[in-house]
Structure 1
Amino acid sequence: MDEFGVYALFGVDGPAQRLLSTDGSVRVCVAVPAYVRQVVLFSSGPWGDRICASAELNDADGIPITIGKLTPYNRCLSWEQWEEETWTDSVTLNITLEGGSLTKADRSEVILAVKEYTPKDTAAPLAAQEINRKRKRGQGAEGVSNENSATKREEEENVCPNGTVEKTTPVRKARGQTKAGQKLFSSVGDATNMKGTANGAVEAQGIVGRTPPRSAVRTKSRQAKTPTQTTPLVSPSGRWGQTLCPIDPQTAILIGGQGARMQFCKDPMWKLCTEDMSWVAAETLAEGPTPEARIGHTAVYDPNSKRIFVFGGSKNKKWFNDVHILDTQSWKWTMVEAQGKVPPLAYHSCSLFRGELFVLGGVFPRPNPEPDGCSDSLYIFDPHLSIWYEPIVTGVQPSPRSGHSACVMQERKIYVFGGWDTPVCYNDMYMLDLGLMEFSAVKTTGKAPSPRSWHGSAVLSDTKFLIHGGYNGNNALSDAFIFDIDTNSWTEVSLPQLSVPRAGHSLITMDIAPRHTFSEDDDVDTNTSRTLLVFGGGDNEGNFYSDLTTVAMEELLCAI
């Protein structure tokens, strides 16, 4: 096959079928037969100047079930019915080719039918049959299946802290969604902490896909939900659970996240240029195998090797313990074949110290009937040896938790704050002395932040770091606090830029050029060129933010 083409396999016994070719249309729609339980999409031949092929599996209402992209460096995608929660018998596959020499005729859409063939076994595997039975709605005794489906779905991802029934303003449901509502955080917690509702669904403080609850007075801050159209985006779609990683004073890299209707963002990677605060889609800029879509992962930049390390996270029922490295000089992805053992983790913290990654806590999957649980372990990854190990740690360790924050201060201490482990939400503080490898509980003074998880944190100076927003088990939060490690004291700050309730968002600080020019005689602190940036997150009522907010460091510190 010397010519370029996009092909698909519908089922394990089906023949490969060409959907797009060099001289054909760049957009195709295929109805997936009801007996098909697997779809494999791949390309063959030289890509030339083509950029990517965007693929969507849509339900009967045109709502994406799952999304993905073929690129010159990622030439194969696969989906299985039992991995996608809303796969039904009326699924369509839509593919759009971007880039290349496109004529007007090329832009038309072609509707294809899957070639007829007789499968060796048209019956769905047992797991798929059981899932389909659970999804059927409403007739007689089958009404119980909605409860089973909702419970199963909530046990597959993260449950929010405090397993009480949430009392919030009702949210418009997406088609096919259970009455439990679309929430930001889905469950990994103990099912005994979940309380059933009268309609048979189970509410457990969250299903991944919704963000923490917004106040009615904040509606003006709502951003557009993740778009499903294929028109090019000029900025990232709304999302939560992403990472935003600064690599130099002019650039930060956005990776991953999840948006509306529990859909993983099909624009998973962006480059932020701080000179004019503009975004550039960056998924196709880097060579090599890109990390699979995910949330709850971490991304840490090493200024010495000029590499970004992406670790862990989750996607639906998949959990990751892989390490992906992006070399920001060659713009090439590599996946590490690491030695040693580290469990799949999501919503952990990851800190860089002397070239090594310190991974603490997080949620990890456990097989049924045990629910997924939180970790209190510390793992270290050595990039030079590509090995994981558990260090010997003394002192009083933090209890198991996830959704917490960790700030490296003065290159010798890691401060760990908050997080949750069902049904408890925390606002305690621990410090890890990186010289002694000793944990200690920090006794603080002043008004401390209330218990929370999925909050944002950022180092402001050698002695101060910021905690903002988060989720307390019932609502998204909009308050902000600064902690001083010299005095072990909290101070609440109030700024209009930080007044929007949000959780699962990103906070970073960057040394970008100040907006004002000062003379040499002006008494200006050296932090005036440092800026706090806030991106994304959501309000737990189905709204996902795509705004980028900036706060001058001078203004922030003066608010203390």
Structure 2
Amino acid sequence: MYWIQCIENGPRRVNHAAGALDDFIYSFGGYSHKEDYTRITPIDIHICNTHTLKWYLLPKPQLDDSQYNVTPFSRYGHTVVVYKRKFYLWGGRNDRPVPCNRLFCFDPKSRQWSLVSIVGDFVPSPRDGHSACIINDRMYIFGGFEDHTQQFSNDLFYFDFNTSSWHLHQPKIGDVIPQWRDFHSATNLDGQMYLFGGRFDRIEPQQITQTIYDDRLYIFNPEHNSWSLVTAMGEIPCGRRSHSAFVHDGKLYIFGGYNNVIGSHFNDLHEFNPLTLLWRRIKAYGIGSPVPRRRQCCLVIHDRMYMFGGTSPISTSTFTNRSNEIQEIDVLRTTLYDQSDLYVFDFAPTLKTLCLLFLAKQRININILSKKFHQEYQLFTQSTLIRQRSTGETSG
């Protein structure tokens, strides 16, 4: 397993949501401290071609465009899922604050938005920091922070695409239900939803000072309609929120995140094997690992994972040349830097990939190579293979 590439100058986004379709990444919205989120403006969509690692921004609809009124407003803390080659966006908020509970659909073929018509009157209350997960023909929504009650949630809802209706899951007696929380992860692995991490309060749903960061792993089985707690062993990752979770080859992976109790951001990568119930920390090779961060996105396409964006801690004592790109929003008053990078992680690099990586790291003259390899080699050299941290960035 290798980190093989790092590209700079992508969209500077935090708390965004993204999905992958074919060989393209679609990133929707998110936060950047240099932009105004008190106004209602159409959400932005950045697309990355994973063959060239180039980003481009789709045009936003103007006020006189029929798309304007059916396009989600710019937001963060929302979720995006892919179902039958379309993207579905739900939840999130901006700085007014304006949380949202309308369901939007984006068709990448026509590049048009639409509002999903809901059958019945029931719709989950607006929230952000929830999770969303597709299993069969349903989108499951769990937890999040409800703005109107100012409370965390541990409700499980699902949207049935066949009937275009929302439903509230009723727990069974004996279910081990995760406590109310936000900024956890929920991931479909073998037709079950694996829920990890997030923050919640020790006593009640209100957000006060006794914050807990969970390191337990829960499973929701839609076939049995029940919750259970995994008795996991091994190198269990530290409790955290705002991390990323993804699946590859039948295993669950956790990357990055943040724990405010101990004041730490993470850049570790952990693997959970559902057959052995073992966690292990992955030792990755290749280029240097990404700097610690939270609220990034991670997406798997074939045998590669693409990680981009997020926010990282910095040291202001030496930070002089990018003072307009930092923010202080952390409870511990940690100064944060919004990232614009994209890292590529290869689960099963080919011999060619390893050779190109070696040539690029050793800066070997490509004149000794066949011309048909020049273009692939140039793509490697265009990326910052041994990334130089910006002045003031920390490694922990």
Band the TM-score falls in, shorter-chain normalisation: 0.5 to 0.7
Quick one: distance in 1 between partners of 2:222 and 2:245? 20
Alignment match, 1:19: none
1:298 aligns with 2:131: yes
C-alpha displacement of 1:385:
2.1
Q: What do the CA deviations read for 1:501-555 (whole angstroms, capped 9, x no partner)?
A: xxxxxxxxxxxxxxxxxxxxxx9xxxxxxxxxxxxxxxxxxxxxxxxxxxxxxx9
Task: Specify which of 251, 257, 273 is matched with residue 107 of structure 2.
Answer: 273
**Mapped contact 1:350–1:360 kept (Cα < 8 A):** yes
Quick one: distance in 2 between partners of 1:286 and 1:460? 34
Quick one: distance in 2 between partners of 1:224 and 1:345? 25
One-letter identity of the residue aligned with 1:306: D
One-letter identity of the residue aligned with 1:278: Q
Alignment match, 1:439: 279
Quick one: distance in 2 between partners of 1:344 and 1:394? 24
C-alpha displacement of 1:239:
0.2
1:448 aligns with 2:289: yes
SS at the partner of 1:258? coil
**Mapped contact 1:212–1:471 kept (Cα < 8 A):** no
**Mapped contact 1:307–1:326 kept (Cα < 8 A):** yes
Task: Specify which of 238, 249, 256 is matched with residue 91 of structure 2.
Answer: 256
CA 1:369–1:314 in 2, change beyond 3 Å: closer, same or farther? closer
Report how many aligned residue pairs link the two structures.
Answer: 277
Moved over 6 A (4+): 488-492
SS at the partner of 1:435? coil
Alignment match, 2:50: none
**Mapped contact 1:452–1:470 kept (Cα < 8 A):** yes
**Mapped contact 2:201–2:208 kept (Cα < 8 A):** no
1:401 aligns with 2:255: no
Q: What do the CA deviations read for 1:383-439 (whole angstroms, capped 9, x no partner)?
A: 1222111012111100010100011002x1111100000111000111111221110
C-alpha displacement of 1:234:
3.1
Alignment match, 1:319: 152
5+ residue gaps, structure 2: 1-13, 16-29, 43-62, 314-335, 358-371, 373-378, 386-396
One-letter identity of the residue aligned with 1:331: S
1:213 aligns with 2:52: no
1:19-98 equivalent positions in 2, closer than 5 A: none
**Mapped contact 1:224–1:238 kept (Cα < 8 A):** no
Alignment match, 1:416: 254
Moved more, 284-293 or 399-408: 284-293
Q: TM-score normalized by structure 1?
A: 0.46
SS at the partner of 1:472? strand
**Mapped contact 2:37–2:94 kept (Cα < 8 A):** no
C-alpha displacement of 1:486:
2.7
Quick one: distance in 2 between partners of 1:405 and 1:270? 23
One-letter identity of the residue aligned with 2:292: P
Q: What do the CA deviations read for 1:291-341 (whole angstroms, capped 9, x no partner)?
A: 110111111112xx3111111111242111111111111111111001212
One-letter identity of the residue aligned with 1:454: R
Considering only aligned residues, what root-mean-square deviation do their CA atoms show, in Å? 3.2
CA 1:369–1:285 in 2, change beyond 3 Å: closer, same or farther? closer
Alignment match, 1:7: none
**Mapped contact 1:288–1:334 kept (Cα < 8 A):** no
One-letter identity of the residue aligned with 1:447: G
1:226 aligns with 2:40: yes
Q: TM-score normalized by structure 2?
A: 0.64
Quick one: distance in 1 between partners of 2:138 and 2:119? 13
One-letter identity of the residue aligned with 1:281: L
Quick one: distance in 1 between partners of 2:168 and 2:208? 32
Quick one: distance in 2 between partners of 1:289 and 1:384? 23
Alignment match, 1:544: none
**Mapped contact 1:397–1:440 kept (Cα < 8 A):** yes
Task: Specify which of 49, 65, 78 is matched with residue 242 of structure 1.
Answer: 78
Alignment match, 1:484: 346
Q: What do the CA deviations read for 1:193-246 (whole angstroms, capped 9, x no partner)?
A: xxxxxxxxxxxxxxxxx93434xxxx7xx78832699x9713110000101111
SS at the partner of 1:233? helix
1:348 aligns with 2:184: yes
Quick one: distance in 2 between partners of 1:425 and 1:401? 9
SS at the partner of 2:96? helix
**Mapped contact 2:310–2:339 kept (Cα < 8 A):** yes
Alignment match, 2:309: 469
